[in-house]
Amino acid sequence: MRYAKNILETIGNTPLVQLNSVTKEIDALVLAKVETFNPGNSIKDRMALKMIEDAEADGRLKPGGTIIEGTSGNTGMGLALAAIIKGYQCIFVISDKQSKEKMDILRAVGAEVIVCPTNVEPEDPRSYYSVSKRLGEETPNSWYVNQYDNPSNAITHYEQTGPEIWEQTDGKITHLVVGVGTGGTISGTAKYLKEQNPNIKIWGIDTYGSVFKKYHETGIFDENEIYPYITEGIGEDILPKNVDFSVIDGFTKVTDKDAAVYTRKIALEEGIFVGNSAGSAIKGMLQLKENFKKDDVVVVIFHDHGSRYVGKMFNDDWMRERGFLDEEITTAADLIKSHLDKDLITVQTEELVSHAIERMREFKISQIPVRDVNGLVGSVDESALLHRYIEDKNIADTPIKNVMGAMYPVVQLNASIDAVSKLITKENQAVMVDLGNGKHHIITKHDIINAI
């Protein structure tokens, strides 16, 4: 019989898979180290277990103890799995930028999850660095992991990821491309590989809003470079001790949009369903393509699984809201596509102004078409109601039919965006789209601004 004695024994020895489509512009053999094959679906299982084992060995983590960490999710998953097998509790502090799926997954494996604001300085007491540190000091029999500065993090990759890649490529690897967060993956893997062959080039992938690239190139920690970004898992506003800049040959920065678009491409073109930092790494590799030659063997690390991003990069509405979908928006049909699933909010002629105001408040809308039993007959809009209210404070109890304005113009689904936007004026705030069978949907100025 061949079986693992527990789930932790299945960590590591992940496959190396050739990429055949997303990197076809690159004239080299490109291989992805697909870390989703780990039991927690990410590379972080490796270092989570090693950090725990090292802390057990030197007494920092004692039997029945509580593991505390500021984690964007993947390290938490690895720690939680090991905690279950080894009998520890986990408290994880996570920033509110992280996907809800990541938080739910951590709770599913028994961890307590505390959510902190992203847009505060690391020194701020509300930041996830500060909160996790404070919990570490206040919780009895606890151990604060600190993956950023914990040397066991990079050592894991020196002991596992580096040797695996070296063996799997038969020592033929020429370049390594890795997204950098705590720096553990790139530093440990690079150190091992460069010891085998100092000519191997190591490229770090950074984000806009992070300090790594400039610091590597100039030695300047530029606080002006720090601003919120969407890409998950990579880039930092601190310099973690686990980033060993001396083994990294260069960084390239990838935009949030490109990272998201390429994350989707990997799933669609390679059938490899991986997370956001994989998209960054592939786009970064394409930005670096001049550096690769025909006989090169380029290895890229895919850190985590796509399932953690189904509400984000893999969701069309999420992509559309951020302008990440390069969709051609040319007609009225395109403009209403994202809210076609929602019912048209209307108010009836005999309802009162207070009902219309309540509906505007509940649905956060500024225009409402008015209907009677025969169909649409008029409209009410927020600013007109406000003017009427200033004239007459009793207006809330007035029937809509006494205050409503003209019905919005109606267009067909194939009306051009130009034609639709010309109909929206200071006096007329919306356009109705005829869906057939007496049904309509609404296009507002807001929808047009979003689209363009």
The residues annotated with a catalytic role in the active site are 44
Q: Which of 135, 234, 282, 313 binds ligand PLP (CB under 6 A)?
A: 234
The conformational region for residue 152 under phi > 0 = left, psi -120 to 50 = alpha, else beta, is alpha
d(CA 85, CA 300): 31
Residues paired with residue 190 on neighbouring β-strands, in sequence order:
none
| Tokens matching residue 439 | 């049904």
Q: Given the complex with ligand PLP, which of 132 and 379 has the nearer CB atom?
A: 132
Query: Count residues contacting ligand PLP (CB under 6 A)?
Result: 17
Q: Given the complex with ligand PLP, which of 300 and 430 has the nearer CB atom?
A: 300
Q: Given the complex with ligand PLP, which of 216 and 371 has the nearer CB atom?
A: 216
Q: CB of residue 258 vs ligand PLP: minimum separation in angstroms?
A: 15
Sheet arrangement for strand 29-34: 16-18, 29-34, 297-302, 175-179, 201-207, 250-254
Which phi and psi (to 5°) does residue 246 adopt? -70, -20
| Tokens matching residue 210 | 């992070």
Of the candidate spans 178-186, 194-202, 393-401, 403-411, the one that interacts with ligand PLP by CB under 6 A turns out to be 178-186
- Applying the rule CB under 6 A, the residues between 270 and 289 that interact with ligand PLP are 275, 277
User: CB–CB of 189/156 below 8 Å?
Assistant: no
Of the candidate spans 48-56, 175-183, 337-345, 441-449, the one that interacts with ligand PLP by CB under 6 A turns out to be 175-183
The conformational region for residue 198 under phi > 0 = left, psi -120 to 50 = alpha, else beta, is alpha
The b-or-e profile of 375-388 (16+ CB within 10 A means b, else e) is ebbbbbbbebbeee
Q: Which of 41, 182, 207, 367 binds ligand PLP (CB under 6 A)?
A: 182
User: CB–CB of 293/248 below 8 Å?
Assistant: no
Q: CB of residue 72 vs ligand PLP: minimum separation in angstroms?
A: 5
Q: Which of 40, 76, 183, 209 binds ligand PLP (CB under 6 A)?
A: 183
- Applying the rule CB under 6 A, the residues between 106 and 145 that interact with ligand PLP are none
Residue written as token pair 């690897």:
173
Binding mask 64-83 for ligand PLP (x = CB under 6 A): --------x-x---------
Q: CB of residue 180 vs ligand PLP: minimum separation in angstroms?
A: 5
Q: CB of residue 190 vs ligand PLP: minimum separation in angstroms?
A: 11
d(CA 211, CA 418): 43
Q: Given the complex with ligand PLP, which of 265 and 359 has the nearer CB atom?
A: 265
Q: CB of residue 97 vs ligand PLP: minimum separation in angstroms?
A: 12
In this structure, how many other beta carbons lie within 10 angstroms of the beta carbon of residue 159? 16
In this structure, how many other beta carbons lie within 10 angstroms of the beta carbon of residue 447? 22
Q: Given the complex with ligand PLP, which of 65 and 209 has the nearer CB atom?
A: 209
Interface ranges with ligand PLP (CB under 6 A): 72, 74, 179-186, 232-234, 275, 277, 303-304
